[in-house]
Amino acid sequence: MTFNPLEQRGIPLDRQLRNWRELNVDPIDPDRCDPYTRCRVITMNGIEVEAILFSHQLARNTVDPEIKRQLARTRYIEAQQQKAVNWLLPGLSSVLETTIAYEQVAVDLTAWVARMEPDPYLKQAYQFGVLEDFDHLYRYANLYEMIEHRKAESIVDNLTEVMPGRPTRYHHRDPVDNVRDPYAKDQADPLSKLHALTIMSTEQQTMNFYMNTGPTYMEPIARQLYQEIGLIEEEHVTHYESLVDPGETWWEQLVNHEYNECYLYYSFMEQESDPKVKAVWELHLNMELEHLHIACDLMRRLDGREPAEVLAPALPNVLTFEPNKAYVRELLDTQMDLTTLGAGYVREAHERFEKMQETIHGGENPPSDRVMHEHDDMFGREYRVQTEGEHPDPAQREK
Ligand SMILES: [Fe+2]
Ligand SMILES: [Fe+2]
Ligand SMILES: [Fe+2]
Ligand SMILES: [Fe+2]
């Protein structure tokens, strides 16, 4: 593929503003849509929210009022894009249904990125993280059957399996052990930079979602499970954001953000099965091409550098939502017992990890274990979706 966003012109910024009628998108049909269409919508919402938040941080660190106004202009369009994208979600879904879709995104997006990541240290970071969101999916799916009396397979549609990953109780690490080493901006493959931004943004969206929606349930076990997993998403954001080289200048970071938006809209436009959603991806790609040009001009002006020096000569292979069952099973077989120590990984529980575990659990079972006991009391079994056979780890098979 030879799509080079630097050589394409998009829609001029002063023609990107949409009126209410244009913003009033038709939501997807939850019963008939491809689950991966919903995953693409969720991913792009996370990306647009990051675009907005990043631009706000940049504006707060910008003295020149003319540049502040330029950032505000583009940011308002990002805010309209976020509305158009997230309003594709149907109003019927419960918080827990959206949660299950978020964890499905985390599993299949992170697994795909892990498969494609060229740098071994970064690849390990994604392999490590995916086994945790995989376990969250399983805990929430059991909660869903308990309190909403429905089954998660109606959401994940057998594209993603539901069974134990690295047990959630072991995700609570001392915060210092969540900080990884960054890639080196001048040596890293441009694809690695896009991967890190993408996963950081979607994990950040999950963290924000649990922060705000967690207390909307009345059932004590639901409220407690959202607190527990909400704190793990804080760890995940720390883990993934620390992969990004903090030596990139603000303007270089802005260019990377806009380039990543082009990459993802282009990828999703290529694979989208719903024609109305595809039209949104295409429109937004044409907007992002112009955002990228504006960001490149700012980088040239304020850093005195050519953006082409830090970007790929053409877009990498499209990022794809597809089942990753065999890959996740291989990780379940080989990486269940990993934890982190400093910026690396170990198989042995160490002192700092044990201390955190002792303090946070306070001698009791965490909500992620209690949800399984309460589910078992009600149904006499667990809720799982194992389309490819038994769990690869004999210790995790249902008794
Ligand atoms: Fe955007
Ligand atoms: Fe998660
Ligand atoms: Fe996560
Ligand atoms: Fe943008």
Distance 383 CA to ligand 3 centre (A): 21
**What integer pLDDT is reported at residue 31 of this predicted model?**
81
pLDDT, residue 96, reads 97
Which ligand has its closest atom nearest to the C-alpha of 137? Answer: 2
pLDDT score at 315: 87
Q: Look at residue 106 in the predicted model and tell me its pLDDT.
A: 98
Contact 274, 318 (CB under 8 A): no
Ligand 4 center–CA 225 separation, angstroms: 34
Residue-wise pLDDT for 8-18, tens only, equals 999 999 999 99
One digit per residue, the tens of pLDDT, for the chain of length 399 reads 578 999 999 999 999 999 999 999 999 998 888 999 999 999 999 999 999 999 999 999 999 999 999 999 999 999 999 999 999 999 888 999 999 999 999 999 999 999 999 999 999 999 999 999 999 999 999 999 999 999 999 999 999 999 999 999 999 999 999 999 999 999 999 999 999 999 999 999 999 999 999 999 999 999 999 999 999 999 999 999 999 999 999 999 999 999 999 999 999 999 999 999 999 999 999 999 999 999 999 999 999 999 999 998 888 889 999 999 999 999 999 999 999 999 999 998 999 999 999 999 999 999 999 999 999 999 999 999 999 999 999 999 997
Place of tokens 């907005």: 52
In the reported structure, the alpha carbon of residue 100 is separated from the centroid of ligand 3 by a whole-number distance in angstroms of: 12
Query: What is the whole-number distance in angstroms between the Cα of residue 256 and the centre of ligand 2?
Result: 25
Cβ count within 10 A of residue 221: 17
Q: Which ligand has the minimum distance to the alpha carbon of residue 281?
A: 1
Q: Find the helix packing angle between 35-60 and 275-303, rounded to 10°.
A: 20
What does pTM read for this prediction?
A: 0.97
Residues 396, 329 contacting (CB under 8 angstroms): no
Distance CA 259, CA 204 (A): 19
Q: How far is the CA of 215 from the centre of ligand 3 (A)?
A: 19
Look at residue 219 and give its three-state secondary structure: coil
Which phi-psi region, left, alpha or beta, contains residue 234 (left: φ > 0; alpha: ψ -120 to 50)? Answer: alpha
Nearest ligand atom owner, CA of 291: 4
Ligand with an atom nearest the CA of residue 140: 2
User: Cα(28)–Cα(89) distance, rounded to whole angstroms?
Assistant: 6
- Distance between CA atoms of residues 342 and 349, nearest Å: 13
Cβ contact 39:104 at 8 Å? yes
Which tens digits make up the pLDDT trace of 321-376?
Answer: 999 999 999 999 999 999 999 999 999 899 999 999 999 999 999 999 999 999 99
Q: How many helices (H) and strands (E) does the chain have?
A: 13, 2
CA of 323 to the centre of ligand 3 (A): 18
CA-based angle 65:59:72, to the nearest 5? Answer: 75
CA 8 to centroid of chain Cα atoms: 28
Nearest ligand to the C-alpha atom of residue 201: 3
C-alpha 288 to ligand 1 mean position (Å): 6
* Nearest bound ligand to the CA of residue 74: 4
- 63, HSE (Cβ side, Cα atoms, 13 Å): 1
